[in-house]
């Protein structure tokens, strides 16, 4: 029996918010999602996921994809079997002042950028946060055939840039509270940010370990939502398709192993720097000591010569 996953009824109600997926359809599942990449740290996240034999979900900011390095990183994520969605941000952060057709064109063109790089168009969309909620925008995007995805586990990783361990601790706390309150595992869609200004890229190994220790299974969003056609044939199409990594296909992958955490190179570099500083300080002390000693020896010699001269004179 599948669990409810939507935060609002799926029936079309004029003026009502569009439903967004906030949890997985089966207990014990977690879809780990990353927003706003690719970035300079995405490769590190992908390396951690590879070591964990796990799949994650990347909501891509198409704005960055005009940079070749980021386009290549997106292709790597896709070819590694991770799920690709897109973030969407209305011009000026609001649909006000734009016609329905203008919004439709902008959404379609944004999806087209991703489609040209991975061969299929994203079907899953995460909207940029806006206040108040842009209900009109939500429903226009939904009517284009897109699935809106929110979350029910906010890691608040932007608060942990200097303390990446805190992100894994937050996961642990959420899992413990779920078990303590409901005496069962829950299902989660988590959100993190694929940018250097958070601690998520440093936390990947500890996050996967925490998920594994709690007995949860990492899944792609198509597995999370039981969707066997999780992409669009093209950005302007209403036909939904699968690829070789999709749920129900031979290359679909769920689950993870506890990864071996690599040496923290930045910490090691800091330690090496401290060691170098200590060595330099010791060398300086020795040099000063030697100079003082030499100066003392020369002083003794001068006094001795003066004494000899004085003795001879008298």
By the 10 Å C-beta count (0-12 exposed, 13-18 middle, 19+ buried), 183 is classed as: exposed
Residue 235: per-residue pLDDT: 97
Is the pLDDT score of 275 beyond 70?
no
Residue 12: per-residue pLDDT: 80
Residue 201: per-residue pLDDT: 96
Residue pointed to by tokens 């960055």:
64
The residue that leads in pLDDT, 169 or 286, is: 169
The residue that leads in pLDDT, 310 or 176, is: 176
Residue 264: per-residue pLDDT: 67
Give dist(CA 111, CA 233) in Å, integer. 11
Question: Which tens digits make up the pLDDT trace of 9-63?
Answer: 888 888 899 999 999 999 999 999 999 999 999 999 999 999 999 999 999 999 9
pTM greater than 0.95 (yes/no): no
Question: Which tens digits make up the pLDDT trace of 148-163?
Answer: 999 999 999 999 999 9
Give dist(CA 25, CA 5) in Å, integer. 6
Long-range own/partner contacts, residues 311-314 (CB < 8 A, 24 or more apart): none
Portion of the chain with pLDDT greater than 90, in percent? 78
* Chain Cα centroid distance, residue 310: 83
Question: Which tens digits make up the pLDDT trace of 73-121?
Answer: 999 999 999 999 999 999 989 999 999 999 999 999 999 999 999 999 9
296 band by pLDDT with thresholds 50, 70 and 90: very low
Question: Which tens digits make up the pLDDT trace of 236-261?
Answer: 999 999 999 999 999 999 999 999 99
Q: Are strands 231-232 and 121-122 parallel, antiparallel or unpaired?
A: antiparallel
Q: What is the mean pLDDT of residues 259-281?
A: 53
Give dist(CA 212, CA 208) in Å, integer. 6
Backbone angles phi, psi at 50, to 5 degrees: -65, -45
DSSP H or E segment with residue 196? none
Is the pLDDT score of 277 beyond 70?
no
Q: Count CA within 13 A, CB hemisphere, residue 150.
A: 15
Give dist(CA 131, CA 224) in Å, integer. 28
Backbone angles phi, psi at 86, to 5 degrees: -140, 150
286 band by pLDDT with thresholds 50, 70 and 90: low
Is the pLDDT score of 280 beyond 80?
no
Q: What is the mean pLDDT of residues 156-174?
A: 96
Residue 213: per-residue pLDDT: 98
Is the pLDDT score of 273 beyond 80?
no
Q: Which residues pair with 153 in a beta bridge?
A: 190
Q: Directed axis angle between helix 100-118 and helix 68-79, to 10°?
A: 70
Q: Residue ranges of the domains in the chain?
A: 29-260, 263-314
Residue 263: per-residue pLDDT: 83
Are 262 and 92 in contact, with CB atoms under 8 Å apart? no
Are 81 and 204 in contact, with CB atoms under 8 Å apart? no
Fold classification of 29-260 (topology level): TIM Barrel (3.20.20)
């Amino acid at each position: 029996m599948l669990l409810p996953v939507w935060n609002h009824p799926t029936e079309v109600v004029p003026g009502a918010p569009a439903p967004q997926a906030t949890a997985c359809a089966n207990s014990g599942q977690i879809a780990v999602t990353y927003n706003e990449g690719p970035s300079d740290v995405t490769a590190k996240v992908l390396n951690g996921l590879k070591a964990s034999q796990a799949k994650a979900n990347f909501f891509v900011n198409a704005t960055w994809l005009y940079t070749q390095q980021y386009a290549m990183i997106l292709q790597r994520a896709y070819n590694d079997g991770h799920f690709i969605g897109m973030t969407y941000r209305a011009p000026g952060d609001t649909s006000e002042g734009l016609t329905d057709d203008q919004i439709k064109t902008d959404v379609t063109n944004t999806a087209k950028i991703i489609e040209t790089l991975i061969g299929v168009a994203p079907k899953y969309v995460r909207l940029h946060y806006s206040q108040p909620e842009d209900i009109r925008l939500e429903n226009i995007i939904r009517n284009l055939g897109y699935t809106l995805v929110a979350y029910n586990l906010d890691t608040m990783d932007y608060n942990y840039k200097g303390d990446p361990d805190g992100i894994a601790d937050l996961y642990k706390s959420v899992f413990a509270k779920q078990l303590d309150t409901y005496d069962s595992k829950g299902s989660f869609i988590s959100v993190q940010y694929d940018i250097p200004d958070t601690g998520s890229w440093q936390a990947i190994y500890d996050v996967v370990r925490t998920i594994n220790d709690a007995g949860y299974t990492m899944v792609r969003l198509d597995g999370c939502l039981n969707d066997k056609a999780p992409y669009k044939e093209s950005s302007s199409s209403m036909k939904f398709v699968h690829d070789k990594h999709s749920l129900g296909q031979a290359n679909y992958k769920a689950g993870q192993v506890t990864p071996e955490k690599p040496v923290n190179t930045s910490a090691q570099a800091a330690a090496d720097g401290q060691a170098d500083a200590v060595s330099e300080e010791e060398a300086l002390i020795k040099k000063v000591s030697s100079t003082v000693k030499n100066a003392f020896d020369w002083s003794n010699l001068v006094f001795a010569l003066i004494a000899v001269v004085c003795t001879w004179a008298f």
